[in-house]
Structure 1
Amino acid sequence: MATFLYVGIALLSLIVGIWVYKLNQYDFITLDDHKYSLASLKGDYVVINYFAEWCAPCLRELPELSAFNQSKGENVHLFAISYDNVSAEKLNALKRKYNIDFPLIAELKGEFPFEAPSYLPATFVIRPDGSLAGQLLGEQTEENLHEVTQ
């Protein structure tokens, strides 16, 4: 009888351990402290925009990104990441200053399925199957982003 109890406790411990391990696996954390893994977003489009405050075209496209964020479907996720790898405090200041209403990536733990861009603004689209749809260079519009995520 005691053997069954020990085996049961061991199995329960193993299950809890695996659950906690999976819970802590993520590729990036947003400024609002949500953890995401690209694997958990599989089945949806993922749009990742690189921007910088010194990049005038990046700042001009922010309202288009916001409009896209407001009108995108449930199977589309938009994130932005600072090209300059700024602190969370600076990122919060940028969010307030430019009225950014979509998630900003504060910490990148894993790797994206693409290299960081050489030019800004740059937007990457990951298809629902996890493959890279491509890199969009230059200012994007709400309309263009809808076209590539359908």
Structure 2
Amino acid sequence: MNQRVIKLLVFILIVGMFGFFGYSMVTKGKHTDVGDKAYQFELPNLDGSTTKLTDFKGKVVILNYFASWCAPCKEELPELEAFQKEYGDQYNLLMINRGETMDKIKKVTDNNKAGMNYLFDYNAKVSKLYNVTGQPETFVIDKQGVIREHYNGVITEMELYKWAKKYDN
């Protein structure tokens, strides 16, 4: 390659890097994580109405991002169902799905026999604000609306209970 082409490629690379870093700086303030106030959202739920995070003001809330095709999510589901059965009246577990249909979730959960609160983030807008990078991914929000835990991976019923209890003061 001649010198002119190399210089042009280096210039394009540098401009691209500055563009990427500039975009990252602009969007950085729109994310929440541990220690931040939880982003308020409203999402459709399995019965066709909507659920808002503000519906649970003053209560400990657990958000769990999942997908029906995700093997670790399938492994985790019995633990979450056990948590819901045992502690669902004390702590609010919101199961958030990205991109799948209500019919699909009804089918894979046997028409929601466990009585879980499934929400649908179709365009992934809320998951982007929460910095969700995969699934399963779990957040614990305290009574003041602050994110206290953010965990990537499979979680057990007892781990969830310990976190919920820890922030229930």
Structure 1: gaps spanning 5 or more residues = 1-25
Q: How far did residue 106 of structure 1 move?
A: 3.2
Write out per-residue CA displacement over residues 94-150 of structure 1, whole angstroms, 9 at most, x where no aligned residue. 221885531111357984795241132101111111111121111110100001101
Maintained 8 Å contact 1:30/1:107: no
The answer as to 2:107 corresponding to 1:82 is no
Cross-structure match for 1:35? 50
- Tell me what 1:13 maps to: none
> What's the % identity of the aligned pairs?
29
TM-score (norm. length: structure 2): 0.63
Cross-structure match for 1:102 = 116
Structure 1 runs of 4+ off > 3 angstroms?
97-101, 106-114
| Structure 2 partner of 1:134 | 149
Count of residues paired in the alignment? 124
| Conserved 8 A contact 1:29-1:108 | no
Are 1:79 and 1:103, in contact at CA under 8 Å, matched by a contact in 2? yes
> Which residue of 2 is the match for residue 93 of structure 1?
107
Q: How does 1:1-150 map to 2 (within 5 A)?
A: 27-72=42-87, 74-83=89-98, 85-96=99-110, 100-106=114-120, 111=126, 114-150=129-165
117-126 vs 105-114, which moves further? 105-114
Q: Is the 8 A contact 2:59 2:91 kept in 1?
A: yes
Give the TM-score normalised by structure 1: 0.70
Q: CA RMSD in A?
A: 2.6
Query: What 5-or-longer segments of structure 2 have no aligned partner?
Result: 1-40
